[in-house]
Amino acid sequence: MPAACDSVLEDIEDIVSAEDLKPHDREFVRKNVFPKVRKRNSQKNIQTDDDPPSDSIIPGAQKIWIRTWGCSHNNSDGEYMAGQLAAYGYKITDNSDEADLWLLNSCTVKNPAEDHFRNSIKKAQEGKKKVVLAGCVPQAQPRQDYLKGLSVIGVLQIDRVVELVEETIKGHSVRLLGQKKDNGKRLGGARLDLPKIRKNPLIEIISINTGCLNACTYCKTKHARGDLASYPIEELVNRAKQSFQEGVCEIWLTSEDTGAYGRDIGTDLPTLLWKLVDAIPEGAMLRLGMTNPPYILEHLEEMAKILNHPRVYAFLHIPVQSASDSVLMDMKREYCVADFKQVVDFLKEKVPGITIATDIICGFPGETDEDFQETMKLVEQYRFPSLFINQFYPRPGTPAAKMHQVPAAVKKQRTKDLSQLFHSYNPYDHKVGERQRVLVTEESFDSNYYVAHNPFYEQVLVPKDPLLMGKMVEVNIYEAGKHFMKGQPVSDARVYTASITRPLAKGEVSGLTEVSK
């Protein structure tokens, strides 16, 4: 059957007029829409077209499978898109085979993630699924050959996902890649009060800003997310309060660089955090996202006070990427190793027990053996309990892709050497025998335990007792591994319910009013 529209439309307004009903308006007249009953053809030998013409399809009755790759920010976008689609009537399914449409939400940080994305597109097409593409890959490189003819929704347009899915199901190919502006000023993205389906009903992911102030030579995400654009403090606090009213007991703040928050709107991260801390109920917790060293340096005193607060995890993710100043200069990271050490040393002194996580890139263009040994010494010195090791992959269109590359075998060996160093120490052995307070929020990957976190956001596995989920409990640590501890609940200790109300059921849509429900 020929497509209803052979050309790619640059914006949905090309096919939707101002007089047409919007998805929100249709939601309340849906009950008056009745599908036309077709008579079955009694002649068995007559072949009929399985696909009805596009004008006879009723949007909102289809099943949609959503796959997200990448960071917490991307996961939050995926939750918002799922919520809007479900609120309109689409069924969100975990079964890709039964889905009518695949929504693929991509990550552009590494080549392997994009390879998985590309392979998923191919698989969807082979299975004759409708496809909508989202995330940083199509936003950064919308003209790639393998994206041609497919519907694309940009990272700042996720509030229009229902419109785009509707048209895709009808057979149209639509692209929404524009920026969001208010009086000429770039906005942080879609509204924070949109419906969403939390992957974990106990955890709310809040993007506090999009984009960043840097221009790292290896980064492709900048091409997709752009320059810094922060959400107003009031909107972020309101989103947090709404989450707590829906049973959330843990909030993750995320962005491409949380430390840069507010610089574009005349405020800063500590100011936001103090406002959020005031809104967090007893027993609930706040986890800060990744921050680059330059933007946290000037707020160290205030950040130490915030990280010592009982409702804030004493945890911070500060990527160093390399311990060589010459490599950092080639990366355009805008700090030196001494800056990173100053941040870590200060926080370790002022926030006893704090967990510092970091990232390292192995084999960046021009990295010498001496440069790499400096990185090895840094890891040996600080023995980071959480270390994300990345072999360098040149991303198309970035300055680093044009630099003289380190041989693949050398990159691989350096990655292996650093991994061996990381696995040579056990950061939690000395904690066996401790009594810790933990918040239980998840199930382990092997489904054998529940996952909790102590005040330093260290992972503690506890017995899979349904009564513990969403609770703040005290445990005795009896075993430690490389990435976790195991704890047994203390029998005489108080079990505290962290949520102030019953959490939403898994798959239930957040943010719906009683009328729309």
Yes or no: say if 371 and 410 are a contact pair by the CB < 8 Å rule.
no
Residue pLDDT, tens place only, 386-396: 999 999 999 88
Residue pLDDT, tens place only, 179-193: 766 666 666 677 888
- CATH 3.40.50.12160, the chain: domain bounds: 63-178
H-run or E-run covering 390 = strand 386-391
Which one, of 347, 262, 342, lies nearest residue 312 by Cα?
A: 347
User: Looking at residue 220, what is its pLDDT?
Assistant: 81
Q: What is the mean pLDDT of residues 204-232?
A: 87
Q: Which two tokens stand for residue 195?
A: 């419906």
Q: Please measure the distance between the N-terminal and C-terminal CA atoms of the chain and give it in whole angstroms.
A: 37
The CATH classification of domain 186-428, taken from the options 3.80.30.20, 3.90.660.10, 3.20.20.120, 3.40.50.720? 3.80.30.20
CA distances from 56 to 35, 36, 40 (A): 9, 9, 16
Is the pLDDT assigned to residue 57 strictly greater than 70? no
Is the pLDDT assigned to residue 373 strictly greater than 50? yes
- Min mean pLDDT across 20-34, 148-162, 423-437, 489-503 is at 20-34
Is the pLDDT assigned to residue 108 strictly greater than 60? yes
Is the pLDDT assigned to residue 38 strictly greater than 80? no
Q: Hey, is 362 helix, strand or coil?
A: strand
In terms of Cβ atoms closer than 10 Å to its own Cβ (0-12, 13-18, 19+), residue 37 is exposed
- Length of the chain measured in residues: 517
* pLDDT > 90: percent of the chain: 66
Is the pLDDT assigned to residue 96 strictly greater than 90? yes
- CATH 3.80.30.20, the chain: domain bounds: 186-428
The CATH classification of domain 63-178, taken from the options 3.40.50.9100, 3.40.50.12160, 3.60.15.10, 3.60.10.10? 3.40.50.12160
Q: Which of the four pLDDT bands, split at 50, 70 and 90, describes residue 59?
A: low
pTM over 0.85: no
* pLDDT > 70: percent of the chain: 86
Q: What is the mean pLDDT of residues 334-338?
A: 96
Q: What is the mean pLDDT of residues 112-136?
A: 89
Can you tell me the distance from the alpha carbon of 303 to that of 356, in angstroms, rounded to the nearest whole number?
Answer: 13
Q: Which two tokens stand for residue 260?
A: 């840069």
- CATH 2.40.50.140, the chain: domain bounds: 430-497
The rounded mean pLDDT for the chain is 86
Q: Which two tokens stand for residue 418?
A: 């650093």
423/183: higher pLDDT: 423
Can you tell me the distance from the alpha carbon of 20 to that of 484, in angstroms, rounded to the nearest whole number?
Answer: 54
Is the pLDDT assigned to residue 56 strictly greater than 90? no
User: Looking at residue 4, what is its pLDDT?
Assistant: 40
Is the pLDDT assigned to residue 100 strictly greater than 90? yes
Q: What homologous superfamily does CATH list for 430-497?
A: Nucleic acid-binding proteins (2.40.50.140)
Q: What is the mean pLDDT of residues 314-338?
A: 97
- Min mean pLDDT across 147-156, 179-188, 429-438 is at 179-188
Is the pLDDT assigned to residue 334 strictly greater than 50? yes
User: Looking at residue 139, what is its pLDDT?
Assistant: 84
Q: Which of the four pLDDT bands, split at 50, 70 and 90, describes residue 51?
A: low
Q: Which of the four pLDDT bands, split at 50, 70 and 90, describes residue 95?
A: very high
CA distances from 109 to 199, 219, 311, 397 (A): 22, 7, 32, 13
- Min mean pLDDT across 210-214, 388-392, 426-430 is at 210-214
In terms of Cβ atoms closer than 10 Å to its own Cβ (0-12, 13-18, 19+), residue 74 is buried
349/183: higher pLDDT: 349
